[in-house]
Amino acid sequence: MSDAHHPPLRSYGRLKTRSIKPRQAALMETLLPALRPPTEPFDPRSLKPDAAEVWLEIGFGGGEHMAAQAQRRPELLILGAEPFQNGVASALRHIDEAALTNVRVLDGDARELMALMPPASLDRIFVLFPDPWPKSRHNKRRIVQAETVAEFARLLRPGGRLRFASDVAHYVDWALLRMLGNPAFRWSAERADDWRVPPADHITTRYEEKRLGDCAPVFLDFIRSSPSAQRD
Ligand SMILES: C[S@@+](CC[C@H](N)C(=O)[O-])C[C@H]1O[C@@H](n2cnc3c(N)ncnc32)[C@H](O)[C@@H]1O
């Protein structure tokens, strides 16, 4: 997505905000190395050949949504990327406590992970309550940009889905404009409740519950259209 001369702008805040509890620190040493995805180009299906679907969560925070989805759906493979160390440590605790075997974790930038995977290798992508970067001079740091949307389109199979959620009104508008600016995506909403009521399969996190934004949470579900549908 980016070339070596122009790495993408940093889209996340601090990498660590407080010391990590000893048990979680131990999991960073023991469990995390086994969960990291390859660092060379790879097909995610090779990580779990019997996976019914492969999902990616970008910026999983404390990992509550990722781990709960993985527990609910053991037939899936869920990849998650998160550079915030305290978040990764907390996610490892969830993964360990639930003895999940269908999760892989990159403690780093999701854009680096996406760049390693082949076209149409994902069934779902989640971008839930991403860092809002509310000041206009910082908007360019938002994870949703035309370039990342193009990367989402490359990675999702036709019929695959992407969920974006935010409680920052400007970011909701921003994401909608950029997602629909790419002809690969169609917004699945048919009525207001489709975006203002949390979807039945959504899992609320502690971050979401803080309601730090300026509007009620909005959920935007997009469908990756097939190449022929794009020509219509
Ligand atoms: C506001 S938090 C929300 C966390 C979680 N999705 C939730 O709803 O509880 C957004 C997270 O996205 C992460 N993030 C930002 N840029 C990212 C990137 N390029 N790749 C992966 N994660 C990223 C941040 O570190 C932060 O933990």
Measured from the CB, is residue 217 less than 6 Å from ligand 1?
Answer: no
pLDDT tens per residue across span 66-79: 999 999 999 999 99
Quick check: 106 and 115 in contact, CB under 8 A? no
What are residue 104's DSSP bridge partners?
A: 79
Separation of alpha carbons 157 and 104, rounded Å: 20
**Ligand 1 centroid to residue 60 C-alpha, Å:** 6
Starting at the earlier edge strand, list the strands of the sheet with 185-187.
Answer: 103-106, 77-81, 54-58, 122-128, 156-166, 218-224, 185-187
* Residue 5, pLDDT above cutoff 70: no
Q: Hey, which of 2, 17, 58, 202 would you mutate to test ligand 1's pocket, going by the most ligand atoms within 8 Å of its Cβ?
A: 58
* Residue 163, pLDDT above cutoff 90: yes
Return the closest-CA partner of residue 44 out of 125, 153, 107. 125
pLDDT tens per residue across span 16-56: 888 999 999 999 999 999 999 999 999 999 999 999 999 99
pLDDT tens per residue across span 176-212: 999 999 999 999 999 999 999 999 999 999 999 999 9
Q: Which atom of ligand 1 is nearest to the CA of 128?
A: 6
Phi, psi of 187 (to 5 degrees): -85, 130
Phi, psi of 90 (to 5 degrees): -65, -40
Measured from the CB, is residue 82 less than 6 Å from ligand 1?
Answer: yes
- Identity of the amino acid at 171: Y
* Residue 1, pLDDT above cutoff 90: no
* Residue 229, pLDDT above cutoff 70: no
Q: What percent of the chain has pLDDT over 70?
A: 96
Report the CATH number of the 24-231 domain.
Answer: 3.40.50.150
For strand 185-187 and strand 218-224, is the pairing parallel, antiparallel, or unpaired? antiparallel
| pLDDT at residue 144, as a whole number | 98
**Ligand 1 centroid to residue 181 C-alpha, Å:** 23
* Residue 232, pLDDT above cutoff 60: no
Separation of alpha carbons 98 and 169, rounded Å: 35
| pLDDT at residue 8, as a whole number | 86
pLDDT tens per residue across span 105-137: 999 999 999 999 999 999 999 999 999 999 999
**Ligand 1 centroid to residue 232 C-alpha, Å:** 35
The 3-state DSSP class for residue 226 equals coil
Q: Name the residues annotated as catalytic.
A: 131
When pLDDT is cut at 50, 70 and 90, the band that residue 7 belongs to is confident
Q: Which atom of ligand 1 is nearest to the CA of 206?
A: 9
- Note the helical H segments in the chain: 22-30, 32-35, 64-72, 85-97, 110-115, 146-155, 169-180, 193-196, 206-209, 227-231
| pLDDT at residue 139, as a whole number | 94
* Residue 89, pLDDT above cutoff 70: yes
